[in-house]
Structure 1
């Protein structure tokens, strides 16, 4: 930690700061420059509060050297984490290909979509049983009945399932059915929900909030990690921008930034980021090219009849075409689309 003192700091104020640091069992290294006097604090920064130091007369600024997200940072875990979702690995060179409709719909349609994306190479099936909608009159999802159907479809096609939880009261229910629990963009800073999900032992897919910084995203992950759940996968899904040409601003650079700061896997969601099927393939490829650990794409066999977000869904044959490209790019980068457990077994027989 570095304490920067004001230009007009008095000797008594300086002495008080030094005494306060030493009272906390830390070492203070004083450096007097021509224009600034700074104090380098050496020791366990968790013993000292930056806010309390800022309140001392004569202190201009306090700058932590270590990031506030202790468990999510590379300092805590230098090697990339690999998250296992019922046999499908994410991170460390393994890629997740998550696909499915925005919302859980009728059984026949769910099975048709699952079969199509599984055949194309997807390894995790998605669908929302609980849907956060801007309007209270819009379709809100099928709830637990939707979870049951999603579980049935995932089992029938040999794919783990991921679905969103919106309410701490529903975490236990979602945990019973899902292989991976999703925290949506609107709930990224719902700290009660993050804490509750952190107490589960299911992998968590944490989406970046619509106005969240990268540090905000990592601090939200810290809430989950601090409760003892180490299996967090981050998701870049775009942030609010001024240009309406896409649904959101696809911040693909955030993937590279996170890779430099954290050991946690991060995937991209070009469906929510762009909102336009024509833009999904190039943006998905860009995400993998910059280092993402997977792609999350909405797929629907009849977007005009979709109960939610139909306009941003890829048709199954378009998804299959994209998967050919993604597999080629993954191989070029020395990565592998993680096989589902059934594929591994077949390969060894």
Structure 2
């Protein structure tokens, strides 16, 4: 009986694998035969092939143009208006009139905002892919709370000698909080609902630690922590943008792998296992990548809420793709953060609203709408 059972299992696995290939790797001439494949195209070069979603590519191109326009507008507007031509000449180094305003104050801040938004958008898409829940994000699973708690403890104990070391401390705290959530949620596997609920509980506990410190600490230290907790790009520049840019560059190959793993994680566990996919390993790898990106973004600019939650869903609604588009999610996050920072700088001059407060003000109603829409 065992040989027959093995042959049956092998035949089932072969048939499932064949059907999956037929649904995800369609040749260009045959895409019209399959439902939902009309928007797909196959790019081939010798032995390499790439399955491309046409609308997602078009949306990504439009978002890239929009990001460039928002970045240029942010470089021009402020207490001192700078014409676009002068911005361009300053970037080329042919004009020294606005070197301080554009070259040293605005451009580093804009670049950092774009990088932070891209990292948060990617992390949100990865976490929501694993949990299969649009309400999940790195904020929900305790990454931001862990970074805040680590920063607070470092300031309280005097472990940080200079403010420049705070980003590294917050990154370590975010990674430690996510690891704790993963360990507590593991029960012979990772169930998405248990993972999210455990993250909420850990986040509440870490938030209580922060509030206790703010209540008992000295005024100067409390003000420093409050400023960091608000999530702001004010006073930040190349020192924070450089390391975050290197993180995005180094993780680019892992993001390519994650985009392929998305298709596998979109299936139910039994089907994915029948295709030979190591589901638990893929879930751990995709979640870990999302946590690293979120922790590094939080370390660079502080906790900027709701960007990781909203960006992937906005990108998916724009592209109408069967899975969360990573490139469009990154570009959407970049547009949201740079645009929110522009509004925060120019809404009530000369005061500056922290960009994290503005994104939370917009993201809170969106979360309520999403909860009501899902019943």
TM-score range, shorter chain: under 0.3
The structure with the greater share of residues assigned to helix is 2
Normalised by the length of structure 1, the TM-score is 0.26
Normalised by the length of structure 2, the TM-score is 0.25
The one of the two structures with greater contact order (alpha-carbon pairs below 8 A, sep at least 6) is 2
The structure with the greater share of residues assigned to strand is 1
